[in-house]
Amino acid sequence: MKNLSFHGKKVLVRVDFNVPLDANHRITDDTRMRAALPTIRMILDQGGAVILMSHLGRPLKKKRPDGTLDVEAFTLRHLVEHLMEITRASVHFADDCIGTTAASAAQALLPGEILLLENTRFHEGEEKGDPAMAKALASLGDIYINDAFGTAHRAHASTAIIASYFPPENRAFGLLMDAELANAARTMDHPERPLVAIVGGAKVSDKILLLENLLEKVDGLIVGGGMAYTFIKAQGGSIGQSLVEDDLLDLARQLIEKARAKHVRFLLPPDSLIADRFAPDAETRIVPTAEIPDGWMGLDIGPEAIASFRAMILEARTILWNGPMGVFEMPAFATGTLQVAQALAEATAGGAFSLVGGGDSVTAVNQMGLADQVSFVSTGGGAMLELLEGKTLPGVAAIRDQDLPAKD
C-alpha cells in the first residue's frame, strides 16, 4: 500500500476487528483494533476516506432460539465509540455491509472520515465466498486493502473473493499484513542461519504439516510440550500418563528419521517435570522423560531440557517459536515456557531474529511481558500456522496474483 496514492479515494479496508467483548458489550482487549491503526492513519493522512469491513464472532452459528440473528451480541456498532477515540477521526456506521444503506453511507463519506460497516458475517455469502456479495462490497470503494491477517487463511467474500473486482494496481496488503508476510518470509524463505524452530503445545496431530515443512527448512528443531511424549514413546520410552497420540507413533518415528536424513539437529526434552495429577497443586518430581512412572504425567520440561534448548536457541541467528513447553497456564508448570521465552529474548538482544507465532506461545510471551523483547509476535494464530506450514493463504493469493484480472 506504500506505493498507492489515497488522496480523494474511498478505500475499502478489510480489518480484523474480531475483538473480545464482555457481557455489557464492552471491548476487553483492543489489540486487534490498534494493530490496524497504522494502515487507517496512512490513508486518512493522505486525504482518503476509509471504509472498514470486519467480522465479529460467528453470528450465523449462534442465532437466537427462534432462528433470528442476535444482532445485539454481534453488531460492530459496539466498536464505534472506541474507534473514534483511538483514530480521533469522525466515524460513521452503516447497519448493513452491503445494499442501499451501505452504498449511500459510502457515497456521503468525506476525505479524512471513517465508515465502519456492519458485521460481514451477518450475511451467509461472507463465509461461502459468494461472488455476488464480494461484488456488492467492492462497489463501495475505489481501492481494496487487506489488513486482516488473522482471516487471510479463509477464502471469504471480504477477505479474498473481493480482490478480484479490483485491478492489481488498486489492491494491496495493509501495513500489518505486509509485516506479517515479510517476517514469515524472513523466517522460512530466506533466514539467516542457523535457523532453529521450537514447537510445543498439546498435540502432534495439530502440527504434523508444520513439522514436515520445518524439517525441509530448519537447521535445528526443538520439540517440547505435551506433543513431545508421543515422540518419546515412539522411541520406546515410558511416559506414564503423559499426553500421547498412539495413532501417530509411526509418524513420529518417520519424522525423527527424516530429521536424521536431512541432518537437522532434533531435540526432545531429556528430562521432564512430572505431576501425580493434572492440577496446580499436584505433587511434582523431575525425572528423565523416557522414565516417567505409571500414574505420573509430564506437564513441563525439566532443567536439563531447559539448558539444552537454551544452548541451541542461543546459537541460532533466526528462531521460530510455536507452542508452549508445558501447561504454562498453571504457574507450577510454566517454568519451561518462561525460560524458552527468556532465551529467545536473549538471542534477540544478541542480534538474532525471532518470530513467535501461530498458537499459545503468543499468549505466553504476552503474559510474561516479553513481547517487546522478541523481533516479531504474530497477530494471526491459524493464518500464521498455515503460512509456516507452507500453504498459500487465499487472502494473500487474491492480492498477489497478477494474472487475476479485475472482474466487472
Based on CB atoms, which residue is closest to ligand AMP, 16 or 360? 360
Which residue among 299, 313, 388, 398 contacts ligand AMP (CB under 6 A)? 299
Catalytic residue chosen out of the listed positions 125, 359, 380, 395: 359
Q: Is 12 in the site for ligand AMP (CB under 6 A)?
A: no
Q: Is 219 in the site for ligand AMP (CB under 6 A)?
A: no
CB of 298 to ligand AMP, least distance (A): 5
Taking the CA atoms of 251, 255, 256 and 260 in sequence, report the sign of the dihedral they define: positive
CB of 300 to ligand AMP, least distance (A): 7
Which residue among 30, 212, 329, 346 contacts ligand AMP (CB under 6 A)? 329
Q: Is 336 in the site for ligand AMP (CB under 6 A)?
A: no
Which residue among 125, 191, 302, 359 contacts ligand AMP (CB under 6 A)? 359
Long-range contacts for 286-291 (Cβ within 8 Å, ≥24 apart)? Answer: 289/228, 289/229, 289/232, 289/237, 289/239, 290/232, 290/235, 290/236, 290/237, 290/238, 290/239, 291/237, 291/238
Which residue among 225, 269, 380, 394 contacts ligand AMP (CB under 6 A)? 225
Letters for 165-204 (x = contact with ligand AMP by CB under 6 A, - = none) are ------------------------------------xxx-
Q: Please state, as a whole number, how many other Cβ atoms lie within 10 Å of the Cβ of residue 23.
A: 5
DSSP SS3 for 383: helix
Is 350 a residue of the active site?
A: no
Q: Which regions of 209-248 does DSSP assign to beta strands (E)?
A: 220-223, 238-239
Distances (CA, A) of 143 to 54, 139, 146, 162, 164: 16, 10, 10, 11, 12
Is 193 a residue of the active site?
A: no
Residues in the interface with ligand AMP (CB under 6 A) total 16
Catalytic residue chosen out of the listed positions 135, 203, 317, 400: 203
CB of 265 to ligand AMP, least distance (A): 22
User: Residue 11 class from Cβ within 10 Å (0-12 exposed, 13-18 middle, 19+ buried)?
Assistant: buried
Is 32 a residue of the active site?
A: yes
CB of 206 to ligand AMP, least distance (A): 5
Distances (CA, A) of 174 to 52, 179, 211: 12, 9, 29
Q: Could you tell me which stretch among 188-196, 248-256, 321-329, 396-404 binds ligand AMP (CB under 6 A)?
A: 321-329
User: With b meaning 16 or more CB within 10 Å and e meaning fewer, what string describes 312-351?
Assistant: bbeebbbbbbbbbbbbbebebbbbbbbbbbbbbbebbeee
Which residue among 141, 298, 394, 395 contacts ligand AMP (CB under 6 A)? 298
Catalytic residue chosen out of the listed positions 112, 237, 381, 382: 382
Nearest to 141 by CA among 173, 168, 112, 109: 109
Nearest to 173 by CA among 39, 331, 31: 39
Q: Is 360 in the site for ligand AMP (CB under 6 A)?
A: yes
Which residues carry out catalysis?
Answer: 32, 203, 359, 382
Residues that bind ligand AMP (CB under 6 A): 201-203, 206, 225-226, 243, 298-299, 323-324, 326-327, 329, 359-360
